[in-house]
Amino acid sequence: MPILEAYFKRHGRWARWWIGERPEGRQGQMASLIAARLDYPSGRDDPFGPGGLRPASLDDAAYSLASAATTSLAHHSPPKPQAIAEAKLALRELSDRPVWITNGWLPGGNGWIPLTTATFDCGVMGYDAQNAFIFWVEEED
């Protein structure tokens, strides 16, 4: 996934990220299997249980990715439209029934679910039939 990898390299200075083959496992376990590639979760609560991390639309995943990649989480200001468009283009590289998962860092404050013990964290995981990725930022205030 060269477009997504180039995006991560360009914007991942403060992020932890991984791109590779989709892990083997059931659909309901996929977020947990992908997060484990970076030794997440690191918090006390299970972010994969009911009410936790959830699938997102392409638009919401692009917003979360642009937030993580281009803004300060502690001083949350929305990402610029250009940053969202660039994130959306990168995410479209997943092509075979893609699934994006975010922790709710979305417009309108739709319920943030931490994956880490950081004061703030934000990121996106995604997968299709063959590929998977995670891009996650942790920030302290």
Position 2 pLDDT exceeds 80: yes
Average pLDDT over residues 63-72: 94
Higher local confidence (pLDDT), 58 or 53: 58
Position 129 pLDDT exceeds 70: yes
At residue 9 the predicted structure's pLDDT band, cuts being 50, 70 and 90, is: very high
Position 109 pLDDT exceeds 70: no
Q: What is the predicted pLDDT for the residue at 110?
A: 62
Going across the sheet that includes 54-56, the strands are 15-21, 131-139, 120-127, 99-102, 54-56
The range of the structural domain enclosing residue 23 comes to 2-132+134-138
68: DSSP letter: H
Question: 78-98, pLDDT tens digit by residue?
Answer: 899 999 999 999 999 999 899
> Number of structural domains, the chain?
1
Q: What is the predicted pLDDT for the residue at 76?
A: 77
Query: 125 phi and psi, to 5 degrees?
Result: -115, 155
